[in-house]
Amino acid sequence: MNAYKKYITIEDPNHVVLSDLPFQPGQRVEVIILAENSDRAISEKLRDLFDKTQAIPGVQDITEHEIAAEIEAYRRGE
């Protein structure tokens, strides 16, 4: 599948106009609309969560072995 990316600013959420597209008349295309800032907001929230989690006293002292053991215990239902 060929992809074509175009950025526009929504002026009317009930009507979106795409112009100057590199497709032929009658050609079927799939249209997917993604909000540009949604991924960035999620990644910023996730980064903040990681920072807060890593700042919890004692977290830095946990070893890889302890993490692996905790994961295995969880998988066993313990």
Residues 6+ apart with CB under 8 A from 22: 4
Tell me the pLDDT tens digit for each residue of 43-65: 888 889 999 998 999 888 999 99
Residues 6+ apart with CB under 8 A from 59: 53
Helix, coil or strand: residue 70: helix
The predicted structure's pLDDT at residue 35? 81
The predicted structure's pLDDT at residue 34? 84
Mean pLDDT across the chain? 89
> CA dist 16 to 23, 27, 78, Å?
17, 19, 52
pTM of the predicted model as reported, rounded to 2 decimal places: 0.41
